[in-house]
Amino acid sequence: MAAQEDSFLYALSSNNAWAGYKAHQNPNFFPKLASGQSPQILWLGCSDSRCPETTILGLQPGDVFVHRNIANIVSATDVNTAAVVEYAVAHLRVQHVVLCGHSGCGGALAALGGSRVGGVLDTWLAPLRALRQAHREELDAIRDDAARAVRLAELNVQAGVAVLMENVVVQEAVRERGLEVHGCLFDLATGRIRDLGFGTGRKGPSGSGGSGGEELVRGKHAQLVFRGGNASMTVR
């Protein structure tokens, strides 16, 4: 990036190189992309620049429908999130809804810090501060600042998954076609996503069902296979 001082110009030239590379690698990639989308995953995550869902999942454009906001807060009254969930679940008919928090989340750190951020941000982060209050004893007992932020991020995912499970569109899809809802946490320090086991229940390597479980996250252009503690990715 140092070679070019303007980060926007750099991003455009990077996009040009990427598009050329993808087209060379698979001449059908962009024609297929332009023909429509049928993602299997809805991802609800944090806006943090370090959590780009498609990249960290090792998937491709077309694989993941996305809504991200500051601190991945899912509130029942947020029409923005609700519209994304409804479109993804009722119209695109995704098979998985993934709510994913992350370590080192600025929103969690701000809520734990207890000081005012200012502007509209304090209003936005109010649900996190409420969680902090509700779990004050447990959180205060955690000595390590980073670990305390991780715990609050987990509680935030748990609360968000609970909201999702109360969403009627989600409930119908769970009942009628086996939609799965997952709560996860992305660890910035290792790049790994941990299934917290909330929602419709976990499957795969770390599930309680033993080593026989296999979970397939099938994207349009790549698929991740989780089996016996290992994941492999194949790209078509």
Binding-site annotation, residues: 46, 48, 102, 105
Query: Can residue 46 be called a binding residue for Zn ion (CB under 5 A)?
Result: yes
Interface pick for Zn ion out of 94, 105, 155, 193 (rule CB under 5 A): 105
For residue 161, the minimal CB distance to Zn ion (Å) is 17
Catalytic hit among 102, 132, 151, 202: 102
Catalytic: 50? yes
* Residue 51 near residue 100, CB atoms below 8 Å: yes
For residue 71, the minimal CB distance to Zn ion (Å) is 5
Contacts of 74 (CB under 8 A, 6+ apart): 44, 81, 99, 159, 160, 161, 163, 164
CA angle (206, 227, 59) in 5-degree steps: 100
For residue 105, the minimal CB distance to Zn ion (Å) is 3
Choose the binding region for Zn ion from 14-22, 48-56, 208-216, 226-234 (rule: CB under 5 A). Answer: 48-56
Q: Which of 128, 72, 118 is nearest to 97 (CA)?
A: 72
Interface pick for Zn ion out of 48, 53, 154, 195 (rule CB under 5 A): 48
When the beta carbons of 26 and 158 are compared against Zn ion, the nearer one is 158
Q: Which of 12, 13, 72 is nearest to 44 (CA)?
A: 72
Query: Can residue 53 be called a binding residue for Zn ion (CB under 5 A)?
Result: no
Catalytic: 48? yes
N residues, the chain:
236
Phi, then psi, of 230 in degrees rounded to 5: -115, 150
In eight-state DSSP terms, residue 89 is I
Choose the binding region for Zn ion from 42-50, 75-83, 190-198, 221-229 (rule: CB under 5 A). Answer: 42-50
Residues contributing to the annotated binding site for Zn(2+)? 46, 48, 102, 105
Measure the CA–CA gap between 223 and 203, rounded to whole angstroms: 16
Catalytic hit among 51, 63, 100, 105: 105
Summarize as ranges the residues that interact with Zn ion (CB under 5 A).
46, 48, 105
Q: Which residues are catalytic?
A: 46, 48, 50, 102, 105
